[in-house]
Amino acid sequence: MTSLEFTDQVQKISYSLKPVAMNLTRDADDAKDLVQETLLKAMLNKDKFKAGTNLKAWLYTIMRNTFINNYNKITKRNSNIDSTEYFQYFNTNENYITHNGATSDFVVTDINEAIAGLSADYRTPFMMYYIGYKYLEIAEKLQIPIGTVKNRIHIARKELKQALKTYAPGV
């Protein structure tokens, strides 16, 4: 198969790739990126395609593997965060920072005390979520249902809002 024939066939099949990409990514922009990356990889590796085999299946395999590799990169990047020292990840609101930093220290202290005041059942999932874990990852690590994780995070947020309402602007 010549390069021109290969390119022509890939172009014809490319329109059927988008629905599959949408199914995988569940996002229109991500689906377009996935199709584009799949087509790029197919063109770069056209010498590895064996004439007489199913080109559509070959493209779907490239797409699926690309999606899985990208997903693994994202989850690996998010799960390498050390969750033992939660408090080092806090950023303060720039409205509370002064030249000498005293106000900022009070705010950070109040936030840390409010978080420390949470029950461990609420504090642990909240802090895991805050540093980047997904609900499912938290549920698996803590061995509790995902609905419980969501509920505990919601309650922790509510309690923190109440404890820190003095810092709420305009309230």
What are 24-83's pLDDT values in tens digits? 999 899 999 999 999 999 999 999 998 888 999 999 999 999 999 888 888 776 655 555
- Distance CA(133)–CA(81), nearest Å, equals 9
Contact in structure between 134 and 78 (CB atoms under 8 Å):
yes
- Distance CA(131)–CA(82), nearest Å, equals 9
- Show contacts of 89-93: CB within 8 Å, 24+ apart: 89/130, 89/131, 93/167
Q: What average pLDDT does range 117-144 have in this prediction?
A: 91
**Separate counts of helices (H) and strands (E) for the chain:** 8, 0
Q: Is the pLDDT of residue 138 over 80?
A: yes
Task: With residue 79 as reference, give the H or E element that holds it.
Answer: helix 55-79
- Distance CA(79)–CA(33), nearest Å, equals 24
Domains and CATH numbers, the chain: 1-84 (1.10.1740.10), 101-170 (1.10.10.10)
Q: Which residues contact 121 (CB under 8 A, 6 or more apart)?
A: 152
